[in-house]
C-alpha cells in the first residue's frame, strides 16, 4: 500500500512538474509582459517580455512587486501598485500609467490586472493571487495624440476657408440676383477662389504627408540645371511678390554644375521655403542664393520678414506646429508645410539649417548633395 501511495505521489509530482513547465513555456511565448503574484503580492511567475518592459535583467520568485513595478500617473506622481492590485475584484485594464527609466526616458504602460479565483468564497477569500499583463503602448499613445491633434487642426483650418468661400459665393449670387455691380461680384468670387486654392494646398500637403508616412514616396534621380530651376521659380513667384509689394532677387554662383537629385522634390522643397518667405514678409524682399559645393549645391532663401522667436525655432519642423505670434495666426496655414519639407529633405539626403531673428527676417539653407545612382545589374 505504501509503495502504491509513493508511486501516486511521484506521479502527481511529475504531472505538476510537466504542467508547470508547459505553463512557463506558454507564458514565455507571449509578447506581452506577464507577472503572476500571490495574495501577498509577491512574484511567483514572470516572463522575458516583462523584464524588457521593466528594463531589468532578472526577477526572483518571492520578490515584492512594488520593488520592480513602479508606475507613475500623468502628473508624474507614484502609483501605489500594491493597493491597486488588492482593490481589483474583477479583471480591469488601465492605459493611463507610465514607467520612468534610469536614463530619464518614459514609456506609456498598458496594465491589465486579473484576480485568480480558487473557489467561490466571500469577501475575496477565494483569491489566490493575481495575473498582471504589461504592454508598452508608447507608440500607440503617440499615434492617438497625433490623430487627435490632426482632427483638431484640420477641422479648425477647414472651417475658416469654407465659411469665407461660402459667404463670398452667397454674396456674389445675391448681387447677381439684384443685378448689382459686376465688379463687386468679381471681388467676391476672387475672395472665394483664394480660399479654394488654400484648401487645394492643404489637400496636397495632406496627400504628400500620407505618402511620406506610409513610405510610398519614390526617388527618381535626374540631372537638374539649378541655374534654370531657380530662375524659373523666381519668375513664377514674381507676380505674387509684386502683389505684396515685395521683390525677389537671385544670386547664382557662375560655377553651378548639374545636380543629381530628384527634380520633383528639390522643386517642392524650394517652393515651400519661397512660399513661406513671401507669406511672412510684409515689406522688403526675398533673396534666393545658390552656391556650388564640393558634393552638391547649397541653396538659401533669405527674407526680410517677421522672423521666428527662439522658443518657436525648436518646434519649427514639428507636425501641425504654428507659432503663437498673432501675425502668424492671421495668415492661413496648416502647420504641415515644413514638416513635409523635412520629410522630402531626408529623402534626398539634404541638410536644412536656418537662422532667424524676430522682426529681422530668416534664412533657410538647404544643402542638396549629388545622389549617386548605382546602375542595375543585368540579369
Kindly report the average pLDDT of the chain as a whole number.
81
Distance CA 335, CA 316 (A): 9
pLDDT bracket for residue 127 (50, 70, 90): low
**C-alpha angle with apex 33: 29 to 38, nearest 5 degrees?**
105
Of the candidates 296, 292, 295, 300, the residue with the CA atom closest to the CA atom of residue 256? 292
Of the candidates 346, 309, 316, 350, the residue with the CA atom closest to the CA atom of residue 333? 316
Task: Note the pTM of the prediction, 2 decimals.
Answer: 0.53
The residue count of the chain comes to 379
Give yes or no for residue 254 having a pLDDT over 90: yes
Pick from 13-22, 231-240, 316-325: least confident: 13-22
Residue bearing the bigger pLDDT, 235 or 1: 235
Of the candidates 335, 57, 312, 30, the residue with the CA atom closest to the CA atom of residue 201? 335
Q: What stretch of H or E contains 133? A: strand 127-136
Contact 81, 70 (CB under 8 A): yes
Contact 138, 108 (CB under 8 A): yes
Of the candidates 320, 339, 318, 328, the residue with the CA atom closest to the CA atom of residue 152? 320
Q: What is the model's pLDDT at position 119?
A: 56
pLDDT bracket for residue 292 (50, 70, 90): very high
Domains of the chain with bracketed CATH: 31-136 (3.30.450.20), 138-216 (1.10.287.130), 218-379 (3.30.565.10)
Q: Tens of pLDDT along 207-234?
A: 766 666 666 667 789 999 999 999 999 9
Distance CA 143, CA 140 (A): 5
Q: What is the model's pLDDT at position 21?
A: 62
Which of the residue ranges 163-172, 303-312, 364-373 has the most confident prediction, judged by mean pLDDT?
A: 364-373
Q: What is the model's pLDDT at position 373?
A: 59
Cα separations in angstroms, 194 against 63, 154, 185, 200, 305: 67, 18, 14, 10, 22
Q: What are phi and psi of 236, to 5 degrees?
A: -65, -30
Q: Which residue has the cell 549617386?
A: 372
Distance CA 242, CA 276 (A): 15
Distance CA 79, CA 102 (A): 18
SS3 244: coil
pLDDT bracket for residue 4 (50, 70, 90): low
Q: Tens of pLDDT along 131-158?
A: 999 999 988 887 777 666 666 666 655 6
Q: What is the model's pLDDT at position 203?
A: 73
Beta partners for residue 352, in sequence order: 366
Amino acid at each position: 500500500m505504501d509503495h502504491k501511495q509513493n508511486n501516486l505521489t511521484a506521479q502527481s509530482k511529475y504531472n505538476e512538474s510537466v504542467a508547470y513547465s508547459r505553463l512557463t513555456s506558454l507564458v514565455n511565448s507571449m509578447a506581452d509582459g506577464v507577472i503572476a503574484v500571490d495574495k501577498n503580492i509577491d512574484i511567483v511567475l514572470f516572463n522575458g517580455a516583462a523584464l524588457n518592459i521593466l528594463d531589468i535583467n532578472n526577477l526572483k520568485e518571492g520578490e515584492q512587486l512594488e520593488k520592480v513595478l513602479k508606475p507613475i500617473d500623468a502628473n508624474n506622481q507614484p502609483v501605489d501598485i500594491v493597493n491597486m492590485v488588492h482593490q481589483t475584484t474583477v479583471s480591469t485594464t488601465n492605459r493611463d500609467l507610465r514607467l520612468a527609466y534610469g536614463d530619464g526616458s518614459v514609456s506609456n504602460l498598458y496594465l491589465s490586472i486579473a484576480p485568480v479565483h480558487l473557489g467561490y468564497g466571500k469577501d475575496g477569500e477565494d483569491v489566490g493571487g493575481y495575473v498582471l499583463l504589461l504592454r508598452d503602448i508608447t507608440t500607440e499613445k503617440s499615434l492617438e495624440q497625433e490623430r487627435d491633434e490632426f482632427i483638431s487642426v484640420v477641422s479648425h483650418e477647414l472651417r475658416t476657408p469654407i465659411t469665407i468661400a461660402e459667404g463670398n459665393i452667397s454674396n456674389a449670387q445675391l448681387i447677381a440676383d439684384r443685378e448689382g455691380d459686376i465688379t463687386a461680384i468679381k471681388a467676391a468670387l476672387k475672395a472665394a477662389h483664394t480660399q479654394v486654392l488654400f484648401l487645394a494646398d492643404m489637400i496636397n500637403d495632406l496627400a504628400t504627408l500620407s505618402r511620406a508616412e506610409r513610405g510610398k514616396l519614390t526617388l527618381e534621380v535626374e540631372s537638374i540645371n539649378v541655374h534654370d530651376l531657380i530662375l524659373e521659380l523666381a519668375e513664377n513667384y514674381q507676380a505674387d511678390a509684386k502683389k505684396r509689394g515685395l521683390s525677389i532677387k537671385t544670386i547664382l554662383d557662375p560655377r553651378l554644375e548639374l545636380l543629381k537629385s530628384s527634380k520633383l522634390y528639390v522643386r517642392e522643397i524650394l517652393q515651400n521655403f519661397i512660399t513661406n518667405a513671401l507669406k511672412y514678409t510684409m515689406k522688403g524682399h526675398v533673396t534666393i542664393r545658390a552656391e556650388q559645393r564640393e558634393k552638391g549645391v547649397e541653396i538659401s532663401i533669405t527674407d526680410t520678414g517677421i522672423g521666428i522667436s527662439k522658443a518657436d525655432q525648436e518646434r519649427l519642423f514639428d507636425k501641425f506646429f504654428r507659432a503663437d505670434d498673432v501675425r502668424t495666426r492671421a495668415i492661413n496655414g496648416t502647420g504641415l508645410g515644413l514638416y513635409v519639407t523635412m520629410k522630402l529633405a531626408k529623402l534626398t539626403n539634404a541638410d536644412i539649417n536656418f537662422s532667424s531673428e524676430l522682426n529681422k527676417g530668416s534664412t533657410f539653407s538647404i544643402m542638396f548633395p549629388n545622389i549617386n545612382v548605382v546602375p542595375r545589374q543585368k540579369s
